[in-house]
Structures are given as C-alpha cells and as structure tokens.
Structure 1
Amino acid sequence: MKTHDNVIKSPPGALLLTLLGVIGFSGSMPATRAAVPHLGAVTVGLGRACVAGVLAALVLVVTRSRSPSRHQLWGLVQVALGVVIGFPLLTARALTHVPASHAALVVGLAPLLTAAWAVFRTGERVSRWFWLVSTSATLVVLTFCVISGDGRLSTDDVWLLLATVVVSYGYAEGARLSRELGGLRVIAWALVIAWLPTCVFVVYCGLPDPAGVPLSAWLGFGYVSLVSMFLAFVVWYAGLARAGIARASQLQLLQPLFSMLIAGWLLNETLPRGLWLALGALLPLIVLANRTRVPSAK
C-alpha cells in the first residue's frame, strides 16, 4: 500500500463550499455586536429568523420543494432549535457585554463538538489521529482565549459555551439531513418551522424604536438575517454533507481568527498579540485534520 493510500482526501469543491460557509459565519459576531446595543438581544437573536424565514419560504415555493417526511421533520425541528433559535439568542445575549473577538474565540470550540456529534448521530468513523489533531487545534483556540482574556469564566462565557454545544449539534444534524434534502432545503425548512414562534416572541418582548437606531446596527442586523442565518448555511451544509461532517467541520477553526480580523477592522476592537501565532499554529492542524484516515471496517 502506498503512503498516500492511508489518507482520504475530501473533494476540493466540497471543502470550498465549507470554507465559504465559514467566511459567511465569520461576520456574525461583529455584526451581532454592532446591532445588539441598539436593537436588543431578542430582536437581533431571533428577529433574524423572522427575516430569513420569509426568504426561505419564498425559495421553497419558487423551487417547488416537496414537504419533508415525518422522520425528516423531527430532525429539522432539532436543527431549528440549535441553529435558528438557540445559538443566535445565546450569542446575542452574551454579546451585549463581551467583545465580538472574545465571543468568536469561545465559539471556536464548535468544530470539535461538531465532530463528536457527527460520530454520535451519523456513525461517522474517525481515527485516533483525527481526535488528536482536532483536540490539539481546540487547545490552541482555548489557550488563545485564556491568554487574551482575563482567565475567568463569566456568565457570558457560559452562554457562549451553551451556544457552542447547541449549534454544533445543529451543524451535525443539518449536515446529516443535507444528504437527503440538500443544504438549501434543510436550512429553509428549519427557518420556516421556527418562523411563527420566533416572530411571536420578538413582538411579545417589544420592538425597538427604529428612529433611534443607527445605520450600522441595521447593516449588522441585515447581515445576520440574510448571510449568517440563510446564505452561509446553504453552502455550509452542502459542504459538510459532501466532504464528511467530522473532517470538513474542522475548517471552522479558522472562523474565530476571521471574526477577530473583521471585528478589528469594522468595530475597532483591539486584536490580541497572539493572533498571527495562533493562525500559524492552526493552519497545519486543519490540513492534517482534513487528511486523517477513516478506519477501515473490520
């Protein structure tokens, strides 16, 4: 057996789709941070689903998508709870107080958790080397977070960790369903399912006075509604389904660094000194994670 037979390469097109999703998600934290002080955590966290849900419904009608089966419907409910409701609301709550760069680093744990959920939910098999490389990459992110922060686990960090758990489950479940429905239909149906309860809750909590909201907040809200909540998910789920959930999800380890660069550029947040060192440590680990061999069935 040749050396290169010991690795399985993910399709380049699938990895490109996954990377495009990561780039789209990278603007989520800075955009949320820009909008939350003026629109509130509930409006930004759940209001995005109200806007994206309308677009999703139109797409489903135009494409004449068939309704999901009963089995698929339960999976879509789980996706909606994780990525449409849980993650946006919890991160918006935390971003009321913490910088976008800090939140991005904590959420950087999502790739490893997504891989774990993929093994649990879809039966994907990964080697010990995969777990070693993924754990090493996660430790890089955590170390970066501790060094750049004050070393304490605040209430906002708890919200962010909970958000990471639920969104990683939503990623894995959505990618599993994408093999049957396609990435577009998965996020579209999840948004349609969550549309009514999220809109009712947003209205119940009270809408902000639009007259006092600056343009930057509206732009941030528009970004999380159209890109973060819909368009990025379409390519993200498609990429995960084609390349393998556990392996391709490791590209998301780049997201905290992308988010921090965006936060520093648009929000003038101070970037930690170890940013480039962390990037240099993460890149080779991500390459290794995408080339680790899946154990052969015995």
Structure 2
Amino acid sequence: MTAQDSAIAPTTIAVGRHAGRGGVLLAGLGVLAFSLTFPSTVWGLESFGPWSLVALRSLVAALIAGGFLLAGRVPVPDRRHWGGLAVVAGGVVVGFPLLTTLALQTSTTSHAAVVVGLLPLTTALFASLRTGSRPPRAFWIAALAGAAVVIAFTVQQSGGVLSRGDLYLFGALLVCAAGYTEGGRLAGVMPGWQVVGWALLLCLPLAAAGAVVALPFEPVRITAHGVIGLVWVAAGSTFLGLYVWYRGMAEIGVARASQLQLAQPLLTLVWSFFALGEEVPAAAPVAAVAVLVCIAVTQRAGRGAGRSGARAADRTRGGDRVRP
C-alpha cells in the first residue's frame, strides 16, 4: 500500500460506515411507515370497500409519483428495467395491498401483523436467489430465529388454525418479497423514488379502471378515519415509505434491510392498541425482546455481506450504479 493509499483508506472506511448507518436509518423509517399500514387500512375500510380502497390507494399514490417525476423531468427508464418495475408494481403496488386488505376483513390487525412478520426471512431468501448475495451463517441463524419467534407468536394467538385471511396473508408475503427484492436491485441503478414512481405509474391505468368499476358497487361512507386511512396508505405507506425503504436497501443490501422488518409486527401492535383499541397480547413484550435481539445479530452479521453483494451487483451491471 502506498502512502497515498494509506491516507485514502481511513476516509473510505469512514464514508462506508456513514453510508451504512444512513441506509439503516432510511430502511428503518420505511419500516416505521409500513407499520402504520394495517391500522390505516382498517380506518380506510370504514369508508370504502376493499376493492375501492386498494384502487384509490394506488390511484392517489400514482398521481403523487407522477407529479414528482414530471416536476423533476425524469427520463423514461431503459427498456431493460421495465420487467423489474413490473414485478415491483405487481408485488408491492397491487398484490400486497389487495391481499392484505382482503385479509383484514376477517383478521385482526394484530394477527395480520405477526403473520407478515415472516416477510423478512422470505425477502432474504428471494434476494439470495435473485441477486446471488450470500449472507454468513450467523445471519441466517438469527433470521430463522426471528422468524421462529414470529411463527410461535402467530400459532399461540390463532390457536393453530389457519383461516382464509391467513391464506391471503401468506400470498401477500410471496408477492411482496418478490417486489422488495426486485425494487432493491433496481434502486442500485436508479434513485429509489424513481423505482417507486415508475412502478406506480405502471399501475395508474389499472387503478383508475378499478376505481371506476368498484366505487359504484361498494358502499362509500365518508368519515374522518376513512379519509385519513386512505391518505396514509397512499402517500405514507405506498409512496414515502417505499421511497426511503428502497433507498435504504440500495445502501445496505436487500437481505440486511429486510431483517429490520422483524420490528414491524411489534410496532403495528402498538399502533393497533392506540389507534384501534385492540388488546395487545401478553406475549408481545417477550416476543419484542427476542425479535430485537435477532435484528441486532442480523445487522452485525450482514454488514460484510451487504458490501460484497453491492460490489458483485456493480460488476454485474457494468458499473452503472448511481446514488439513490
């Protein structure tokens, strides 16, 4: 190593650590936004039917995204990226909101939250298959332990009986994990908000058509809760939440970021208690401590994997990675 290299190395390490902390913060803000989605959806269902709510949610979010893209004069993505954007749109913009909204007609918010707690492990598995990332053994052990805590909590609360709502939720896990993985990959080659924006615009015609068809056939009862719920799931969860989430994943890697979502069910339980008056199960604090320990281990073990995965992705894309 030359004297110049010695002088540069500490600065490079410091910048990398700062970027890692920033990525964790951004992904964590995404988790915070997502944790409010289920209570907001329940509020939205006070005013709209499930199909109307999902269509309006996507429509409002797409209009917001289109406004930002137009104001920024953002060029249309290359043709090679549209397949990935379609996966994001199908999984995160349409599939997950629709399936979870249908599930919340028969499942409580707290129950749905803990089932979706399997999303971190599902996303890490998808990311490993799609991007070739190889987190260390300690990462997988901690991730599996966190998932086991969530499963045990779910079984204990549901009495071991799966309902139709659970089937909707398991389907939501699969499509959302695919959308997160593909969106995290794309956030390495274009800004994260553009990934969200173009995915939402892809769904604009479908959302508009869905709203036109669903609204006349489902009852509409405008309430303050209903309007607030719709606004949050559209602007907060779907646009802002996905923006910071994908930007964080671009910084620290899909697998590592996904494990931050182990905290999401527990945060949702808190919001459900305050916003909906649902009773928080007595086992929740124990599960919270166990899950937080698993998160700490996955974040520590995943640092090296996130850096090596980013370098591998850079080589695959031929160095066209840009800052989100």
Alignment TM class, shorter chain as reference: over 0.9
Q: Which amino acid letter does the alignment assign opposite residue 255 of structure 1? A: Q
Identify the range of structure 1 (148-157 vs 166-175) with the bigger mean alpha-carbon deviation: 148-157
Q: Which amino acid letter does the alignment assign opposite residue 185 of structure 1? A: Q
Given candidates 224, 240, 248, the residue that maps to 2:249 is 240
Percent of pairs with identical residues = 37
Does residue 266 of structure 2 align to residue 257 of structure 1? Answer: yes
2:191 aligned partner:
182
Q: Which amino acid letter does the alignment assign opposite residue 252 of structure 2? A: A
1:5 aligned partner:
none
2:206 aligned partner:
197
1:61 aligned partner:
70
- Cα distance in 1 for partners of 2:136, 2:244 equals 26
Secondary structure of 1:181's counterpart equals coil
2:236 aligned partner:
227
Does residue 56 of structure 2 align to residue 47 of structure 1? Answer: yes
Given candidates 66, 70, 73, the residue that maps to 2:82 is 73
1:4 aligned partner:
none
Given candidates 278, 282, 288, the residue that maps to 1:279 is 288
Q: Which amino acid letter does the alignment assign opposite residue 196 of structure 1? A: P
- C-alpha change, 1:236 and 1:34, in structure 2 (3 Å) is same
Secondary structure of 1:188's counterpart equals helix
Given candidates 61, 84, 87, the residue that maps to 2:93 is 84
- Cα distance in 1 for partners of 2:80, 2:128 equals 20
- Cα distance in 2 for partners of 1:56, 1:139 equals 37
1:171 aligned partner:
180
- Cα distance in 1 for partners of 2:46, 2:264 equals 23
2:115 aligned partner:
106
1:217 aligned partner:
226
- Cα distance in 2 for partners of 1:128, 1:110 equals 19
TM-score normalised by L of structure 2: 0.86
- Cα distance in 2 for partners of 1:19, 1:38 equals 30
Residue 112 (structure 1) shift: 0.6
Given candidates 96, 100, 125, the residue that maps to 2:105 is 96
**Does the 8 Å contact 1:36/1:95 carry over to 2?**
no
The Cα offsets for residues 206-234 of structure 1, whole Å up to 9 and x where unpaired, read as 34555x32211111111101101100100
**Does the 8 Å contact 2:46/2:225 carry over to 1?**
no
Q: Which amino acid letter does the alignment assign opposite residue 89 of structure 2? A: A
Q: How does 1:126-141 map to 2 (within 5 A)?
A: 126-141=135-150
- Cα distance in 2 for partners of 1:76, 1:273 equals 41
**Does the 8 Å contact 2:93/2:200 carry over to 1?**
yes
**Does the 8 Å contact 1:45/1:91 carry over to 2?**
no
The Cα offsets for residues 227-286 of structure 1, whole Å up to 9 and x where unpaired, read as 011001000000011111101210000000000100110100011101111111111110
Q: Which amino acid letter does the alignment assign opposite residue 196 of structure 2? A: I
Identify the range of structure 1 (37-46 vs 193-202) with the bigger mean alpha-carbon deviation: 37-46
- Cα distance in 1 for partners of 2:298, 2:63 equals 37
Q: Which amino acid letter does the alignment assign opposite residue 179 of structure 1? A: G
Residue 118 (structure 1) shift: 0.7
- Cα distance in 1 for partners of 2:212, 2:116 equals 28
2:7 aligned partner:
none
Q: Which amino acid letter does the alignment assign opposite residue 41 of structure 2? A: T
- Cα distance in 2 for partners of 1:103, 1:209 equals 24
CA RMSD of aligned residues (A): 1.7
Residue 37 (structure 1) shift: 4.1
